[in-house]
Chains A and B, each alone.
Chain A
């Protein structure tokens, strides 16, 4: 009897100890070995970034030349005004624009500069006096009697960051400074709309974040044409020679790129890196047969058939296998001797003066006619030197359009100076930098927030340390970019936004973040039950037996006690 008691005690102790080992050692061990490693992410900061509040500020200086303000008005100058405009784009995104305008009178040296014969020279000498920082503007107000601007032009926009504004005479006499400023305000607003950031540009740049239905077909075309912001671009110049038997072509592409294209790319270096290739393709035909126009005895390509030209050629253009950057292709096509001269006609059957066309987010094609270089009875093949200045002029214009340098038609009364040899005016660069910064910030915030959401949703993905580090650095760069944008430091804002984009893309597209294993619940049960059930059932039963025996003994003891 004692032995059975001892046996039973031993049995109970064994069951209890097994249960203890399973629960205390087994369950934590199973938990630790099946959990995934997830490094810590700054989730609260990411949630803050989801609500994007962008402040853009621009500094404007309005300088009154002699003869534009009366002495009484001049006493109140210098003056500073601040204008704030708030826009709510959607419930997560809000924009606020701030223009800080300083009014002052011109210095002696500026007056001398404004006395130049033409507006372009005045612009140049004003630039030598002082250089405005990125993102700021200077508007010089000149009297009506000034001869700098032609008759019907009120505003001249220079190549750098200055504009010349002519005021009418009836405003000067007998009005106070406030009335003068109020009268000038619409004009200055127009100048700002052209030269600095505009609401349409900034909201278009936010298209990654906010699905905005565009207003009109012009803005759809504009938003589709330019490449998205990318850290680098590849530019490829190709010379297509379908008829090497007749034409032996020489093009000085290296010199032309160095002289004409490189200045623009150097100026754009804060925005992106560029790499340039060139190639020559022989026997590359256009996919479309040109039609012969007997009235002008030329061959023509209609605007309708241009869409089908690109595809057959694209298969033969190579691209750099190592990089994933977007490629801009610029093709120079020399028509063969039997189809020369070849002109492109627009919808109204007029010749296009540039003889070129471009495709949004792809590149451009120019047709260069060489039939005037030789007569009918010359000995073929003919050596032809291509005039690279003319060719690069067209390619440069196409490159500007494809990179997003918007040249919308200015309001009436405006005269915009042609962009210099760099191909890009300073204020155009500023506009591009504004929209690129905003676009980068918008893209980076959506990337980070969707990554955080994805990692939260799928518990099985392993988050390595390097991903957590990239995310943290992206968050830091974003916060810095937003604050620099608010302070008006355009260069720093763009740089931080680029760093933010790089880190966020690297984190989002890390190869280790692939969620492959989707286990529906019934599959999970099917895996665990054969493993755990045979082990747990005896333990549970013995525990139940212990409990029921203890209860029975307790019940027996009770009446005994009585």
Chain B
């Protein structure tokens, strides 16, 4: 019996077994095998779906590293299971096809061009000049115009865990968007409060990789927020490694070590947030990463990384079925035989047989008129007005 207990502890499938003693993750050794009916799962985290909002707030070639940061986090989040329909990716997207890119259609995150994070499977929802403070706040609060398609909305509910990742250039209390505007920490905190009022999230993890990033989470006051930043107020966040062939820095230090940490995570892993706080100590990062957990209700040690970065679905076995006895109407079977055809979009036969259209006569346009006027003026100025009678 003891061996069985130890074996199950090592197997670590705690989240599938009901916790009848009510402890949260600390008492993993107590497992009572599932004589439960439908609630056969330990719903420790309280969320049913995951969303990610990944924003890169810089543009121009020398900010290559910010785009690479965001795309690397996007790759990890997709690898761990969050589908594109649940990711809102905002990038200036001017790196891959930039004239200065020696390898077009690629964005590398490792020197010696080891890892192309752009690939052929990137779905950028807001690109170019659409990445603005206004759009970012509209996504968070949900106040988008009715014509916005589904892929550009954050359709989270009260059981969604949201990951928000921001990177770019920042300062004490603000973050610069696309070199033309700023978002302040007060606006961000107000946006989160409005999300909380409408119950648009269950738990929210906020990661920011900019200079003086810790100032952006100072003003948060809504519950269930956890925040990580790459540097404290007064410190700069530094970049990692330049690539001599591309000519710019490829990644920022904090995100580089964050990605190394995430590479070890797979959808069933049990690593928790305390390990994430230890990523990139001062010796590697030069700046001091900070975090804030006072607004978070659960203990960070019981929060799994996959609660935010991955999308592990809760599953219940269906035990009931309904006995249906009516047969399907035989008539509806006939409809299936109806062939589907495409509408005739280009009437080819009409086009090849049509006669050339009579073009209407238009008076000469402004350019020709101006050109002739100029020529006439020059002529008369040179030779005098007396030649006018030869023309008219």
Residues of A within 8 A of B (CB): 207-208, 217-218, 220-222, 224-225, 228, 252, 254-256, 258-260, 303-304, 306-311, 314-315, 319-324, 326, 344, 346-348, 352-354, 356-362, 364, 366, 388-390, 392-394, 396-398, 400-401, 407, 409, 418-419, 421, 423, 446-447, 450, 454, 458, 508-511, 513-516, 518
Please state if A358 and B315 are interface contacts (CB–CB under 8 Å): yes
Interfacial chain A residues near B13, Cβ < 8 Å: 304
Indicate if the CB atoms of B328 and A397 lie closer than 8 Å: no
Specify which chain A residues have a CB less than 8 angstroms from the CB of B366 in the assembled complex. Answer: none
Asked if B137 and A220 make an inter-chain contact with CB atoms under 8 angstroms apart, the answer reads no
Q: If A221-B43, A256-B328, A509-B143 touch, does A362 touch B319 (CB 8 Å cutoff)? A: no
Assuming the contacts A254-B335, A397-B321, A511-B144, asked whether A518 and B313 have C-beta atoms less than 8 A apart, the reply is no
| Most A-side CB within 10 Å, residue of B38, B40, B49 | B38
Instruction: Tell me if B332 and A511 are in contact (CB < 8 A).
Output: no
Assuming the A-B contacts A397-B321, A511-B143, are A359 and B84 also in contact, with contact meaning beta carbons closer than 8 angstroms in the complex? no
If the complex has contacts A252-B336, A514-B138, are A224 and B43 also in contact, measured as CB distance less than 8 A?
A: yes
Name A514's contact: one of B42, B137, B267 (CB within 8 Å). B137
> A398 contacts B318, CB within 8 Å?
yes
Which of these binds chain A: B190-198, B256-264, B347-355, B370-378?
B190-198
Q: How far is the CA of A514 from the CA of B327 in the complex (A)?
A: 54
Complex contacts, B315 vs chain A, CB 8 Å: 303, 306-307, 309-310, 357-359
Query: A388 to B336, alpha carbons, bound, how many Å?
Result: 15
Contact A311 B143 (CB under 8 A): no
Residues of A within 8 A of B46 (CB): 220, 224
Q: How far is the CA of A357 from the CA of B38 in the complex (A)?
A: 11
Of residues 172 to 203 in B, which have CB atoms within 8 Å of A's CB atoms?
Answer: 184, 186-187, 190, 194, 197-199
Interface of B is mostly: loop
Cα–Cα, bound, A526→B130 (Å): 30
Contacts of B358 in A (CB 8 A): none
- Bound CA–CA A401/B321 (angstroms): 11
Q: Does B119 contact A (CB under 8 A)?
A: no
B9-41 vs A, CB cutoff 8 Å, 1 = contact: the mask equals 000010010110000000000000110011111
- Additional A-B contact list (18), CB under 8 Å, known A394-B322, A421-B325, A510-B143: A208-B199, A258-B328, A308-B267, A308-B268, A319-B150, A321-B151, A347-B40, A352-B319, A353-B321, A354-B319, A356-B318, A364-B318, A390-B321, A393-B321, A401-B318, A514-B141, A516-B187, A518-B186
Chain B residues near A357 (CB-CB < 8 A): 315-318
Q: A321-B151, A361-B159, A450-B198 are in contact. Are A221 and B316 (CB under 8 A)?
A: yes
Residues of A within 8 A of B155 (CB): 324, 326
Instruction: Establish whether residues B322 and A396, one from each chain, have CB atoms under 8 Å apart when the complex forms.
Output: yes
- Closest CB in chain B relative to A79 CB, distance in Å: 39
The answer to whether B134 touches A258 (Cβ under 8 A) is: no
Please tell me if the beta carbons of A421 and B324 are within 8 angstroms of each other in the complex. yes
Q: How far is the CA of A508 from the CA of B194 in the complex (A)?
A: 10
CB distance from B366 to the nearest CB of A (A): 41
Give the residues in chain B near A320, CB-CB below 8 Å: 150
Contact of A220 with B313 in the complex, beta carbons under 8 Å: no
Q: B332, A308: Cβ atoms under 8 Å?
A: no
- Chosen A-B contacts, 9 in total, with CB atoms closer than 8 Å, are A208-B158, A220-B39, A315-B83, A320-B150, A357-B316, A390-B321, A393-B321, A447-B198, A450-B194
| Contact between B312 and A308, CB atoms less than 8 A apart | yes
Instruction: Tell me the nearest residue of chain A to B134, going by C-beta.
Output: A516
**Contacts A208-B158, A254-B332, A321-B151 given: A352-B317 contact, CB under 8 Å?**
yes
Q: With A and B bound together, what is the CA distance between A454 and B141 in angstroms?
A: 12
Instruction: Indicate which residue in A303, A321, A409, A511 contacts B150 across the interface (CB closer than 8 Å).
Output: A321
Q: Report whether A221 and B313 are in contact in the complex, using a CB–CB cutoff of 8 Å.
A: no
10 tightest Cβ-Cβ pairs between the two chains A and B = A255-B332, A221-B39, A255-B328, A450-B197, A311-B81, A347-B34, A356-B318, A306-B315, A361-B48, A315-B83
Q: Determine the residue in chain A with the shortest Cβ distance to B137.
A: A514
Q: Are the C-beta atoms of A352 and B323 separated by less than 8 Å?
A: no
Chain A residues closer than 8 Å to B137, beta-carbon distance: 514, 516
Q: Does B253 contact A (CB under 8 A)?
A: no
The docked-state distance in angstroms from the alpha carbon of A307 to that of B81 is: 11
Q: Which residues from chain B contact A323 at a C-beta distance below 8 Å?
A: 150
With A307-B315, A354-B318, A360-B48 in contact, do A252 and B323 touch (Cβ < 8 Å)?
no
